[in-house]
Amino acid sequence: MRIRKKKASASADFEQFLKDYNCQYSTETENNTTLYSFEFQAARFVAAIRKQDDCVEVTYPSMATAPMSQLDLVRAKCNERNYGNILFKYSYTLDHESNEVDVHLSFFNNKVESEEIVHELKAAFHFQREWNHDFDEAVSMAKDNDTLDLESELYKHQREMFMLRRLELRHQLDSSAASIAMGTGTLPLWQMLETVMPLPQCRLMFMTVNTVTSQQRIEDEQAIRNYDLRRVLVEGEGKNARLTRDYAMLDLHYKQGLDEQPRLLTIALTAEGEDDHSIYTRVTLTQVPRNASRMNSLSNEERQPRSVSMLIALDRSDDKQRQQEFDYMWSDAKLKAKNREEGSLTEEQEMLNQVNVADVAYNLYWGQQLFNAERYYEAILHLENVFNSFRENFFEMSAKHRQVFMEAAYKLGFCYNKLGLSKQAFYYLDLMATDGNIRHTMELVNTMASNKDMRIFSYTEGVMEEVKRNFSEDDELPDNIKDLINFLRRRRGYAYIDFNQLDKAEEIFTRMLDEEDNADYAINELAYIKKLRQQRGEGTSANDDLPDDPSAPKELPF
């Protein structure tokens, strides 16, 4: 009779591995689990093997340590690495005695095989070195950003860079964009006009409101000014609000300045659907151009049609809820600051802590919220209140107050640019032309490009020269600086086309064809250049009045 060989236990196999590799170890048993504390290449590991089980879990308990003040950063880096690592898992515990965070690295094997365990133990050392290098860079970045919550900081940065890239226009493409303005209060016609299409020295004559089934004529100037655009197509309040018509046309007749010739502004409103939260309306304002005269030449702006289109919405919510949310966030921010828990503050709360006036804080909070939600028109209404309140004390501001003021100005410029109102955007963005913030620089250049501003060439050249002064030829440029340089090159090429410098633009975009980050954009612009030349019957452009492109790689240290 043959005797079946008894299968060795996982514990026996693991102990054999420890003996084979001369590892010093000790054991203890807890809840049917044997714990092995052992040394491998002078580092201490702990292995756990459950009774009557073939698997083993190995932990590197002191893979790294960090001060307790960097807990948010440790948490963020553990989450980041666990997301992209299948075999090894990162965790941490708090050592209150030493006031430190201990970072652990662990792996799990379904069976005990010496070669696999040795391979994974050596891999643990590799990941330890990688963690230390990555974490040191993260700490440095956190100091630069004055926050340890890099997970949140990185998201905010990526979000704003994404929004900036969406504003980077391309020729031949439809660049119209919908900006959603939501709310529960009234939206007076004159408030929208003052924001997106100002009519200085305007005398209102009358306005007609035309729908499929009715026509109304309004002659009272105050009634025209207060006409509520949110409810033209909607009846009812709150949860009972509903669409009652699909279309309406408002014709505003007015005179401007000393001119007795009547002018016309049309406001088209079309239903854009509804959901459980809001009812949407598209508003398109078009100022009819004037006829030519000696005082009004073909090049005069009044001879050009002006049009702005956006979405607005009537919310089915209660304004009281917004006030309650703000009150909670502001109180929570003040409490965290009092308890020295600044690391747990959101971006909105960080700014709120710099404001002591409730009305200003309310507008700051909701302006930020609406900006993040891409509700640009409504964000403007809040952020302009913040800007005007801070501006009065500009020269007495502390550094932190000035940071809030400049951030409000940046967001106002961004919102106006999104609505296609480049001149208004430039008013705010020019305040920060030399502050060194990459987001601010990119948005200012976007505004110059969309407004065909000839200053774009000298300004972008100055930014390029600043990069040269700060980085030598042997330096590896940070990713954000590389992104900025590529962005500036694309914007210069775009602007050269608008100024009929087709040869210079073609030279820039041809270089980009072999560049992963720029190839798609370059193909689009080269096709547009080709179409322009076909329309003009040109071979190449001979216009060389502008300076050579300083963004060309041969002239830069990278």
Structure tokens at 131: 């963690």
227-255 average pLDDT score: 89
| CATH number assigned to the domain comprising residue 118 | 3.30.1460.10
| 29 and 102 share one domain | yes
Q: What is the 3-state secondary structure (H, E, C) of 433-485?
A: CCCCCHHHHHHHHHHHHHCCCCHHHHHHHHHHHHHHHHCCCCCCCCHHHHHHH
Please report whether residue 5 resides in a domain: no
Per mean pLDDT, which of 21-25, 50-54, 199-203 is the most reliable? 21-25
Within a domain: 178 = no
- 378 and 493 share a domain? no
Q: Based on the fold, state whether residues 142 and 25 are members of the same structural domain.
A: yes
Nearest to 452 by CA among 414, 422, 485: 422
Does residue 442 sit in the same domain as residue 526?
A: no
* Number of domains the chain is built from: 4
Q: What is the mean pLDDT of residues 108-137?
A: 87
331 and 445 co-located in one domain: yes
Q: Are 442 and 487 contained in the same domain? A: no
d(CA 558, CA 554): 8
Q: Which of 417, 435, 453 is the last residue of a domain?
A: 453
Co-location of 19 and 88 in the same domain: yes
- pLDDT bracket for residue 5 (50, 70, 90): very low
For the chain, the farthest-separated pair of C-alpha atoms sits apart, in whole angstroms, at: 120
Is 1 part of a structural domain of the chain? no
- Establish if 557 belongs to a structural domain: yes
Say whether pLDDT at 206 is over 90.
Answer: yes
In a domain, 180, yes or no: no
- pLDDT score for 228: 93
Q: Are 450 and 420 a contacting pair, CB within 8 Å?
A: yes
Q: How confident is the model at residue 294 (pLDDT cuts 50, 70, 90)?
A: very low
**Boundary residue ending a domain (453, 470, 504):** 453
Percent of the chain residues past pLDDT 70, beyond the cut: 82
142 confidence band (pLDDT: 50, 70, 90): low
* Per-residue pLDDT at 553: 40
Which range, of 141-145, 197-201, 238-242, averages the lowest pLDDT? 141-145
Average pLDDT over residues 80-96: 81
Question: In this structure, are 475 and 536 located in the same domain?
Answer: yes
Q: Average pLDDT for residues 211-220, to the nearest whole number?
A: 91
Residues 307, 430 within the same domain: no
Say whether pTM exceeds 0.85.
Answer: no
- Residue 4, domain member (yes or no): no
Q: Do 122 and 23 sit in the same domain of this protein?
A: yes
Phi, psi of 47 (to 5 degrees): -115, 140
Residue 268 banded pLDDT, cuts 50, 70, 90: very high
Residue 259 lies in a domain: yes
Mean pLDDT, the chain, integer: 80
Residues 229, 309, single domain; the answer is: yes
User: Which domain, by its residues, includes 98?
Assistant: 10-147
Domain boundary among 453, 479, 503: 453
Domain contains 3: no
Report strand pairing: 100-109 vs 215-218.
Answer: unpaired
Residue 329 token pair: 């966030």
Q: Are residues 250 and 375 in the same domain?
A: no
